[in-house]
Amino acid sequence: MPAQMETRVLEIDPLEDCRAAYREAAALLAEGQLVAIPTETVYGLGADAFNADAVAQVFAVKERPHFDPLICHLPNAAAVHEIADVPEELRGLVDTLAAEFWPGPMTLVLPRKACVPDIVTSGLPTVACRVTSHEAMRGVAKALGHPVAAPSANRFGHISPTSAPAVLKELGGSIPLVLDAGACSEGLESTILAPCLDDKGNPAVRILREGPITREKLREVCRVVKAAKKGAQADTPAAPNAPGQLKSHYAPSKPLTLCSPFGPFTPQPGVRYGLISYKGESKLAQMDCWVEKMSLSPGSGRLAEAAVRLFAVMRAMDECEEVDAIVAEELPTVGLGAAMMDRLTRAAADRNA
């Protein structure tokens, strides 16, 4: 564990002129230090992507295995070409995706350029590129003049932080600065896509991680092909996978079980259960075995509201002293529900499996 230090929280309001704060954050990054920076999805733990020693600190502070590569955050879509070689046959597709979804919660995995240090990509031939819609991350990358390599600002395998207090709980004392712009507006990590050619040689994308840009939205603008089979051969630009998408991830410290909103759920004697319900009105929510109940989108249920609140509610339930174990209601796997079920399934996975 790196040496303890005081973590300063610098509040920013992106509606005002924040350039001084971005310059301050960029100056720390230029010295090889780490800064937590908000994006619209979750807070990121940023380092200068071109400084391999600083990036090594990201892995150390997060206790993240080195096989799990980082996303490079860019100030604008044109900057992709500084770190990635977009193959000729995928240019049109990449331009369409960039025009449609950037700045926004989309990450593209593309063949990398040699200027990207090996440690950023875990030695893979590809680099993950993202242009967030959050002005803070783009502003810091612009002030730094290099891409910012930033994974979610949590310890490895834990719940991603969607607010500055959540970052402090995860990494307080290990980093010098958190830029605090309030709660994240999307709440779920970006959709990760690998542009590729389908079996007929037509441009398509493979979804490596479900996220706020849903499969349905993607299908409106491009072809979406199936993910590579589990245990498929090693990563290549033609057949990439997301090495960090482990079975157990996004995990609270308490055991979490998934259950249908219709039940049945059989409580174990002596265990105090907290329920994370979608609308708070299901058959499951009406059982009398819950010592605590939290709803993701009370009333009629909106997936977008549930997505924004999911990680904050998981964190609140994890911190609730009366609760020994968490039960989360299964969500409809359409639209944003697919990304939320992906996170909940990993949170529920046996950590020793």
Q: Which of 7, 245, 333, 345 binds ligand TXA (CB under 6 A)?
A: 245
Q: Which of residues 103-122 bind ligand TXA (CB under 6 A)?
A: 107, 109, 121
126-159: b (≥16 Cβ within 10 Å) or e: bbbbbbbbbbbbbbbbbbbebbbbbbbbbbbbbb
Indicate whether 128 belongs to the interface with ligand TXA (CB under 6 A): yes
Euclidean distance between the first and the last CA atom of the chain, given in angstroms as a whole number: 26
Q: Is 231 helix (H, G, I), strand (E, B) or coil?
A: coil
User: What is the binding site for Mg ion (CB under 5 A)?
Assistant: 152
Give how far the C-alpha of residue 323 lies from the chain's centroid of Cα atoms, to the nearest Å: 26
List Cα–Cα distances, 101 to 26, 162, 255, 312, 335, in angstroms. Answer: 26, 21, 36, 25, 16
Indicate whether 157 belongs to the interface with ligand TXA (CB under 6 A): no
Instruction: Tell me the residue nearest to ligand TXA as measured from the CB.
Output: 244
For residue 55, the partner it binds in Mg ion, ligand TXA, none, with Cβ less than 5 to 8 A by kind, is none
Query: What is the arrangement of strands in the sheet containing 325-329, beginning at the earlier edge strand?
Result: 256-259, 325-329, 273-277, 290-295
For residue 345, the partner it binds in Mg ion, ligand TXA, none, with Cβ less than 5 to 8 A by kind, is none
256 close to 328: Cβ distance less than 8 angstroms: yes
For residue 21, the partner it binds in ligand TXA, Mg ion, none, with Cβ less than 5 to 8 A by kind, is none
For residue 192, the partner it binds in ligand TXA, Mg ion, none, with Cβ less than 5 to 8 A by kind, is ligand TXA
Would you say 18 or 128 has its CB closer to ligand TXA?
128
Q: Which of residues 272-311 bind ligand TXA (CB under 6 A)?
A: none
Q: Distance between CA 220 and CA 235 in Å, rounded?
A: 28
Would you say 51 or 121 has its CB closer to ligand TXA?
121
* Element spanning 28, H or E: helix 19-30
Indicate whether 58 belongs to the interface with ligand TXA (CB under 6 A): no
Q: Which of residues 208-237 bind ligand TXA (CB under 6 A)?
A: 208
Bridge partners of 225, per DSSP, are: 206
Indicate whether 130 belongs to the interface with ligand TXA (CB under 6 A): yes
Indicate whether 7 belongs to the interface with ligand TXA (CB under 6 A): no
Parallel, antiparallel, or unpaired for β 203-209 and 224-225? parallel
Where on the chain is the footprint of ligand TXA (CB under 6 A)?
Answer: 39, 41-42, 44, 68-71, 107, 109, 121, 124, 126-128, 130, 150-152, 189-190, 192, 208, 240, 242-245
